[in-house]
Amino acid sequence: QVQLQESGPGLVKPSQTLSLTCIVSGGSISNGGYYWSWIRQHPGKGLEWIGYIYYIGSTYYSPSLKSRVTISVDTSENQFSLKLSSVTAADTAIYYCARYDSSAYDAFDIWGQGTMVTVSS
Amino acid sequence: EIVLTQSPGTLSLSPGERATLSCRASQSLRNNYLVWYQQKPGQAPRLLIYGVFNRATGIPDRFSASGSGTDFTLTISRLEPEDFAVYYCQQYGSSLWTFGQGTKVEIK
């Protein structure tokens, strides 16, 4: 079965770029019908969708973060990545990668375990 | 952007009791893209319900959901100890995914 695993630094300095990678195992990222997404959760708060990428490289970002977000895909490595620039303390959160299944569920059916990123000097 | 408002914020109930959670959308969800997730402490959310009322694979039938337009409901018929968690609704519309702020179901 498909599994997702986030990786990246747990601590980022203010004004720098947060970079995370999500490794997809148990299935190909190039299978159609899935939108590979990033979602974050501020400590003790709700969920915020950041954006998605389709395996051919098309992307869509949340308008509130669009100016700072880049999501890319590496089909050869079966992984996708998030870059969030000019971070501040407000970007401190648990970052999840998730698969949006647009064929069977129209929902985020598989999630990574999440990785905590703290923005601090 | 469609805003989802969940109520109540916290529901204090005993095992065996019935839980009724509400999710209200700021605009009508014409396409039935309304989903429910369960999140336990330290874990990622888990898909419970999709397409307003369809249970995801492996979800027990004590979980049911309904609704249309702007008002949606998740019901847990008889709470089991493992059901105490936070529940989020989520919608997709206009190329945006948004989540409600969550309802915490806690042990009374």
Question: pLDDT value at position A10?
Answer: 95
Question: pLDDT value at position A88?
Answer: 98
The confidence band for B34, taking pLDDT boundaries of 50, 70 and 90, is very high
Question: pLDDT value at position B30?
Answer: 77
C-alpha B18/C-alpha B105 separation (Å) is 11
C-alpha B48/C-alpha B58 separation (Å) is 9
Name the residue in chain A with its Cα closest to that of B97: A49
With a CB-CB cutoff of 8 Å, which residues 36-95 of chain B face chain A? Answer: 37, 43-47, 50-51, 56, 88, 90, 92, 95
Give mean pLDDT in consecutive 10-residue pieces for chain A, a chain of 121 residues.
96 98 96 95 95 94 96 96 98 98 92 98 95
* CA of B101 vs chain A CAs: smallest distance (Å): 5
Confirm or reject contact between A49 and chain B (CB < 8 A): yes
C-alpha A112/C-alpha A106 separation (Å) is 18
Chain center to CA of A75? 15
* CA of B13 vs chain A CAs: smallest distance (Å): 21
Contact B35 A108 (CB under 8 A): yes
Question: pLDDT value at position B39?
Answer: 98
Name the residue in chain B with its Cα closest to that of A94: B44
pLDDT at B95 over 80: no
